[in-house]
Amino acid sequence: MLHQEHGAKKHELDHIVPRKHGGSDDTDNLAWTCFQCNRYKGSEVAAYDPETGQLIALFNPRTQQWHEHFLVESGAIMPLTAVARVTIFVLQINRPGRIMVRQLLAQTGIYP
Ligand SMILES: [Zn+2]
């Protein structure tokens, strides 16, 4: 969850619902994602919520609003919902190096 110019690698086109789960190539099912998030997401579509054990679908940037599920706090992306908890977990959004990059970008006023 960085702008492309702030990542070490170019962003990639992700199938929100992967083809192997029946996802289409329609723009409704495509998202521009950072390399690292996309590596961790792979072909996942859902995960078990660490708080409740319920199976929860990952955040869908085409149908859901980011600010309703997440907020940024000192470089960490914090969950407001179960959708956010599973997405942060699967995409490993708050690995220490990623928080550090966000903190550095925030100090220079270019993040979020
Ligand atoms: Zn990312």
Query: DSSP state, 17?
Result: S
Q: How far is the CA of 67 from the centre of ligand 1 (A)?
A: 15
CA of 38 to the centre of ligand 1 (A): 7
- Name the β-bridge partners of 56: 47
94 alpha carbon to ligand 1 midpoint, in Å?
10
Structure tokens at 75: 């470089």
**Predicted confidence (pLDDT) per residue in 35-72, tens digit:** 889 999 999 999 999 999 999 999 999 999 999 999 99
This prediction's pTM: 0.90
Strand (E) or helix (H) holding 41: helix 35-41
State in Å: Cα 19 to ligand 1 middle: 21
CA of 25 to the centre of ligand 1 (A): 21
Residue 1: the pLDDT is 59
Please answer whether residues 100 and 75 qualify as being in contact, where contact means their C-beta atoms are separated by less than 8 angstroms.
yes
Residue 58, CA distances (Å) to 82, 87, 107 in order: 9, 5, 30
Q: Do residues 58 and 49 touch, judged by C-beta distance below 8 A?
A: no
Q: Residue 101's CB: how many other CB atoms inside 10 A?
A: 17
